[in-house]
Amino acid sequence: MNLLFHTPGHARHDPTALSPGHPERPARLNALAPVLDQAATNGWTRREHAPATDDALARLHPAAHLAWLEELANGGGGRAEADTALTAGSMDAARSAAGAGLAAVDAVVAESDVRAFCAVRPPGHHARPFVDRGAMGFCLLANAALAAAHARAAHGLNRVLVVDWDVHHGNGTQDAFYEDENVHFLSLHRFPFYPGSGAKDETGAGAGLGATRNLPTAFGTPPDTIVGRFRTALADVADACRPELVILSAGFDARRGDPVGDLGLEPEHFAALTAAVVEVADAHADGRIVSLLEGGYDPAQLAEGVTIHLAALAAGGASSE
């Protein structure tokens, strides 16, 4: 079964109102509307969801963080930091984005061989947990990390794998589980690059030592080499973790020509990355995958990337052969 979740009212979060030309803009998700419509005619089922509750958000975000964001939004808008702006509807969109991940986890855990894609914004993997003012890098709430925390707290899963191939390192997700042996994290990202974290020697701490694996990748690395390294690392991490659920931070800003990122990847490379994740989920997690949109800042390229991603999710691991 393949499920689609979407952020209703996402356009009310519009950083361009404060920063004209801001890349994290409503046009990103608007460009996905025909992609999702087409997917819905090809076997994907749309699901509605509720916004994330304060209790669910409190697993990672202090009340002071939420109150700060609400104050900025309710005051008509403001900047959480230089590149992270809120408008009046930003927190409604952010709570909906986080809620999509929670609902997707509920649906995927309920039965085997279910894959879900969450077309959401604002993105989340830079939002820092356990910090009173942790918004950064266009991110307000830690969508993927909250989904993993929900899988543990609400469903009692013992082993969750979070995979992140956004061109930027998912520092917020890493921080959430850096000392947690039950949530493994694998990140493929450009390095050195924003936000500056994600070095190879960042491997976890305490009980979580070894549960974090980073694949820092230099600009100019051949795309086929990138995909090969990812497949090898993912197989190693999955064998160690034996995940009951795979959560994916699916950023498409590693695409050649993306205005914010770029690692030279083309659509076929995203198909191969997706197929590798599906193979791991099929082998260890009864096919259970929750994929959440992160970056990708050229709307047309983003639509193409998501189209490829959905096709590879639906096809299973066959496209990697």
pLDDT tens by residue, 262-274: 999 999 999 999 9
Examine the pLDDT at 65 and tell me if it is beyond 70: yes
Find out whether 258 and 303 touch, Cβ atoms under 8 Å: no
HSE, side-chain direction, 13 A CA sphere, residue 302: 31
pLDDT tens by residue, 147-206: 999 999 999 999 999 999 999 999 999 999 999 999 999 999 999 999 999 999 999 999
**Interatomic CA distance for residues 243 and 278, integer angstroms:** 12
Q: Is 284 a catalytic residue?
A: no
Residues in the chain, total: 321
Strands 84-87, 115-119: pairing is unpaired
Torsion of CA 284, 287, 290, 295, to 10 degrees: 80
Report pLDDT for 304.
Answer: 98
In the chain, where the domains are located? 2-320
Cα distances (Å, whole numbers) of residue 135 to 25, 28, 79, 123, 272: 17, 20, 10, 11, 32
CATH for 2-320?
Answer: 3.40.800.20
What is the arithmetic mean of pLDDT over 287-296? 98
Q: Which residues contact 201 (CB under 8 A, 6 or more apart)?
A: none
Kindly state the tokens that stand for 39: 């997917």
Find out whether 51 and 92 touch, Cβ atoms under 8 Å: yes
Q: For all residues of the chain together, what is the average pLDDT?
A: 96
Strands 77-81, 84-87: pairing is antiparallel
pLDDT tens by residue, 208-249: 999 999 999 999 999 999 999 999 999 999 999 999 999 999
Given the residues 126, 150, 184, 269, the one annotated as active site = 126
**Secondary element (H or E) of residue 291:** strand 289-293
CB atoms within 10 A of CB 87: 20
**Secondary element (H or E) of residue 115:** strand 115-119
Q: What does pTM read for this prediction?
A: 0.97
